[in-house]
Amino acid sequence: KKIYLKDYKKPSYDVETVDLDIKVFDDHALVDSTLVMHRQAEGDLVLYGEDVELLEISINGEALSSEGYSQSDGKLTISDTPDQLTLQLQVRICPQTNTALEGLYMAGTGSDTMFVSQCEPEGFRKITFYPDRPDVLAVFTTRLEASKRYPTLLANGNLIEQGVVADAPDRHYAIWHDPTHKPSYLFACVVADLDVLTDYYTTSEGREVTLELYAKAEDIDKCHVGMQALKDAMVWDEVNYGRAYDLDRYMIVAVSQFNMGAMENKGLNIFNTACVLSSPETTTDIRSFNVKAVIAHEYFHNWTGNRITCRDWFQLCLKEGLTVYRDQSFSADHQSSAVQRIDDVSMLRAHQFSEDAGPLAHPVRPESFVEINNFYTTTIYEKGAEIVRMLANTLGPEKFRQGTDEYFRRYDGQAVTVEDFLSALSVADSKIERFIDWYRQPGTPVVSGHQHYDSQAQTLTITLSQQTRHVAGFDAPKPLPIPVATALFAKDTGAIVAERMLLLEEDEQVFTFENVTSEPIVSLLRDFSAPVQLNYDYHDEDLAFLLKYETNGFNRWQVTQLLVNRILLKGHHPSIYLQAVADTLPQLAVDDPMLAARLLDIPSARELASAIHKDYDPSSIKQQREGLYQQVADSLAEQWTALYQQLPIQGYEDSPKARGARALRNVVLDMALTAQVEGADKWAQQQYDNASCMTERFGALKALVDHQVAGVNDYLADFYERFKADELVIDLWFSVQASAEQVSTDDITALLEHADFDWNTPNRVRSVISALTSQPTVLWTSEGLDIYTGAIQRLDEANPVLASRLLQVLARWYTLVEPQRQMAHDKLSALQKQASSKHVLESLDSVLAAAQ
Ligand code: ARG
Ligand code: ZN
């Protein structure tokens, strides 16, 4: 059943306090709850519950008979209730068989198990009946009771009591009280046997906070990076947004079975182990950097999400877009800001642009949905963050801070909307309100333009226009306010002669620059000032010029990407690009190795495919990508040896410079193998054998695998032996094989049959199944699709959130060339007949509708 933003109604009852008592037993759990409620609007009292068995229910001490309430479609409705009431419930749930990883579930197997909760967005209703919606804010007190085999009993807030259960000496309990008013999706509890790393932080307001990171005993050594990131994030939010932490304890718990990256539950974050554990020996630089970003993200939610929350789930981007923008800004302070911007924009272009170009396109604030879990998308997160970035840049740092201060002042403790956010920011500048259409309208705008130089008048005019595709089911697109950061470069000196932020607000607009003494080269959309596609009448030579003279690293990268796109999608000759790279690389490798590594990026097959709307032929795109890669490798063949050797292994250090050197070294190694540089096989083997950290070891392993270097199987076996006790490293071992250049469907099948493959652990499933999507020539074959849709079908009932996310990646099947198109259609239709979860069915309906 579809629900609509326009149908929003205030809940009839508010909850003042909730007392929960959760008793975990060997094969079930009992949950008692006491809710003190009062009426705030007309209507019945409505509670939501899913997979919970109601044992008892009473109002103001009087048991309700089964006539006293009605139950249907996951709702429990009680009519004619008093305005002030105390509701008491007892339910039975079964965390041991909960494979969906929502609500309270058991993770692990055998003697190594733990219980954790995941309540966002609508998981609390799998723990007990409750008005489970984000605009109901209550004070929670939680008693947890379990066998002493689980010494760790955690819930939100402060620990107020613990002890042994009176008549069951092998059981113990703990009582936690959270003084903040919070929606049920921020509830969390953990019943486990974990070790803890403890540290302390004193806030700018003088509050002493205990920081605790809980993990399995063998993982505690890998918690230091996360702990440091947490302290960095706490300082950062005080300095940049004036926000300090508000409880005496901040807890993070690592669990290996988790659908997403992490969850910002009040005072008790729960993390996928992949997003919190890190050590140089076992974690690549990319993942380790990601750990810091996710820790910061969840911490920042304490203000943007928890203290100010969403009125309803249509407003999801209110907390996610803003929080992603905040974590991106945090990360930009911990490495070169150009590289941070490159990584954020690559991610947006590869994933969000293709989502926006397909049948799952939706506004950053959707207007309807069947299953909200299907909307934790790159559009809501990453495009949402780009909108906040445009707002911040439009206001400038001081006014943006004034606007966010106003947002926190006005709405602290409330559940609000995107309009509320814009209205707070607009105290700094009223033009902010015009950005609302960015939240309402799906599709990626295309900005096209050309220039005219008048040497008599000494003026340069730039004409820009915008166009957004009309997505079925939405109003005709309106022009959006698009900030286009622009600079003019003198052709003779390469110096900047003018710099301006052009605000394109009409379908077409002409911008004039005065006193321009000779025709300049124009650099547009600097720092990716808006999430749009740019289509400007450059000559390839102009782009090569900009690669040389642009002052900002992001802009230099952006012109290489424009050049590569022209070569791969428009058939331009590669010589200008190859020459420009050859001219730039040697010096850049010395000055900024991380940027040098990025400069050799060729967009993924997936990103390229997002620009192809018909007759997409995966093998021809693969051939062209590889052809260009080969040309780059060959044209610089003389240089790889020197480049590789000037970046020696020097022992491990976690600095931007050292990470840059490692990243470039891995790229150079791959290039050298591609160009068949004499001895490159040996470099790879030695880099593996002598690695000082996982970035080096895994980079070498990946090169050995992708180039099928002699002895590669011994290296794979060695890697497995070394790390077989470490799940996260074994995920890497699976994924390096599943995403290998030469992978076949038989290889994938063999990985799925490996003793360590496990359908109940999302990280492991993704390490093979999601890796397949990086090889479209394998994915879009009959066998490839059977494997992929087979995985979706298998997970459809067991873990619909994961199944539906895997499915969403197939959304642009209809752009394929025949006969793959028909084949994909048939497999998806077959899947539709088998599927049962509303998650998968909603996605499939949209995905198949693309065929018309
Ligand atoms: N709020 C979390 C975050 O962005 C994501 C949790 C989403 N969970 C889900 N089941 N969809 O950090
Ligand atoms: Zn988030």
Residue 604 backbone class (left: φ over 0; alpha: ψ -120 to 50; beta: rest): beta
Residues 345-394: tens digit of each pLDDT? 999 999 999 999 999 999 999 999 999 999 999 999 999 999 999 999 99
Range 611-633 average pLDDT: 96
The finding on whether 382 has its CB within 6 A of some atom of ligand 1 is no
Ligand nearest to the CA of 118: 1
Catalytic-role residue among 120, 298, 355, 696:
298
Ligand nearest to the CA of 804: 1
CB 298 within 8 A of CB 275: no
The finding on whether 529 has its CB within 6 A of some atom of ligand 1 is no
User: What percent of the chain lies above the pLDDT cut of 90?
Assistant: 98
pLDDT category at 241 given cuts 50, 70, 90 is: very high
Q: Reduced to 3 states, what is the DSSP secondary structure of residue 675?
A: coil
Q: Tell me: pLDDT of 500 over 60.
A: yes
CA dihedral for 715, 218, 197, 651, sign (positive or negative) = negative
pLDDT category at 610 given cuts 50, 70, 90 is: confident
Residues 97-139: tens digit of each pLDDT? 999 999 999 999 999 999 999 999 999 999 999 999 999 999 9
Rg (Cα) of the chain, in Å, rounded? 28
260 CA to centre of ligand 1 in angstroms: 6
CB 166 within 8 A of CB 220: no
**Count of alpha carbons within 13 Å of 386, Cβ hemisphere only?**
26
Closest CA to 265 of 127, 171, 95: 127
The finding on whether 263 has its CB within 6 A of some atom of ligand 1 is yes
Whole-model pTM over 0.90: yes
Residues 800, 802, 807, 809, Cα dihedral to 10°? 160
Residues 737-783: tens digit of each pLDDT? 999 999 999 999 999 999 999 999 999 999 999 999 999 999 999 99
The finding on whether 735 has its CB within 6 A of some atom of ligand 1 is no
pLDDT of the residue at 259: 98
The finding on whether 264 has its CB within 6 A of some atom of ligand 1 is yes
Closest CA to 298 of 277, 256, 326: 326
SS3 for 484-523, per residue? Answer: EEEEEECCCCCCEEEEEEEEECCCEEEEEECCCCCCCEEE
Q: Tell me: pLDDT of 851 over 80.
A: no
636 CA to centre of ligand 1 in angstroms: 44
Task: Please state, in angstroms and as integers, the Cα–Cα distance from residue 609 to each residue in 469, 625, 774, following that order.
Answer: 17, 12, 12
Ligand nearest to the CA of 185: 1
| Higher pLDDT pick, 801 / 850 | 801
Letter string b/e over residues 224-258, b meaning 16 or more CB atoms within 10 A of that residue's CB: ebbbebbbbbbebbeebbebbbbbebbbbbbbbbb
Range 809-815 average pLDDT: 97
Pick the residue whose CA is nearest to atom 3 on ligand 1: 263
Distance CA 658, CA 593 (A): 9
Substitution site in 102, 260, 309, 839 for ligand 1 pocket (most atoms within 8 Å of beta carbon)? 260
Pick the residue whose CA is nearest to atom 11 on ligand 1: 373
Residues 581-598: tens digit of each pLDDT? 999 999 999 999 999 999
329 CA to centre of ligand 1 in angstroms: 20
The finding on whether 385 has its CB within 6 A of some atom of ligand 1 is no
Q: Where are the alpha helices (DSSP H) in 301-383?
A: 316-332, 337-347, 353-356, 378
Token code pair at residue 290: 């990601």
Ligand nearest to the CA of 318: 2
Token code pair at residue 106: 């058991």
Residue 176 backbone class (left: φ over 0; alpha: ψ -120 to 50; beta: rest): beta
Task: Please state, in angstroms and as integers, the Cα–Cα distance from residue 673 to each residue in 284, 299, 601, following that order.
Answer: 21, 42, 16
Q: Tell me: pLDDT of 648 over 80.
A: no
**Own/partner pairs, 668-672, CB within 8 angstroms, 24+ separation:** 668/640, 668/643, 668/644, 669/644, 669/699, 669/700, 669/703, 670/702, 670/703, 670/706, 670/707, 671/600, 671/632, 671/633, 671/636, 671/640, 672/633, 672/640, 672/641, 672/644
User: What percent of the chain lies above the pLDDT cut of 70?
Assistant: 100
Strands (E), 508-602: 508-513, 521-523, 533-536
The finding on whether 302 has its CB within 6 A of some atom of ligand 1 is no
262 CA to centre of ligand 1 in angstroms: 7
263 CA to centre of ligand 1 in angstroms: 6
CB 535 within 8 A of CB 395: no
172 CA to centre of ligand 2 in angstroms: 33
Q: Reduced to 3 states, what is the DSSP secondary structure of residue 695?
A: helix
Range 520-525 average pLDDT: 98
The finding on whether 120 has its CB within 6 A of some atom of ligand 1 is yes
The string of DSSP codes covering 794-843 is HHHHH-HHHHHHHHHTTTTGGGBPTTHHHHHHHHHHHHHHH---HHHHHH
The finding on whether 269 has its CB within 6 A of some atom of ligand 1 is no
261 CA to centre of ligand 1 in angstroms: 7
Substitution site in 263, 325, 326, 839 for ligand 1 pocket (most atoms within 8 Å of beta carbon)? 263
CB 803 within 8 A of CB 373: no
Ligand nearest to the CA of 800: 1
pLDDT of the residue at 852: 55
The finding on whether 376 has its CB within 6 A of some atom of ligand 1 is yes
Interface confidence, given as ipTM, is: 0.96
CB 479 within 8 A of CB 466: yes
The finding on whether 262 has its CB within 6 A of some atom of ligand 1 is yes
pLDDT of the residue at 490: 98
Pick the residue whose CA is nearest to atom 6 on ligand 1: 263
Token code pair at residue 359: 């049948």
Distance CA 664, CA 592 (A): 10
pLDDT of the residue at 650: 74
Can you tell me which atom of ligand 1 is nearest the CA of 376?
A: 11
pLDDT of the residue at 647: 85
Distance CA 626, CA 670 (A): 12
The bridge status of strand 249-255 relative to strand 208-215 is parallel
Angle 115-120-123 from CA coordinates, rounded to 5°: 60
729 CA to centre of ligand 1 in angstroms: 24
298 flagged as catalytic: yes
187 CA to centre of ligand 1 in angstroms: 13
Can you tell me which atom of ligand 1 is nearest the CA of 305?
A: 1
The finding on whether 188 has its CB within 6 A of some atom of ligand 1 is no
What is the pLDDT of the chain when averaged over all its residues? Answer: 97
Substitution site in 376, 802, 842 for ligand 1 pocket (most atoms within 8 Å of beta carbon)? 376
Helices 656-674 and 694-706 cross at an angle (nearest 10°) of: 10
The finding on whether 373 has its CB within 6 A of some atom of ligand 1 is yes
Angle 570-573-578 from CA coordinates, rounded to 5°: 120
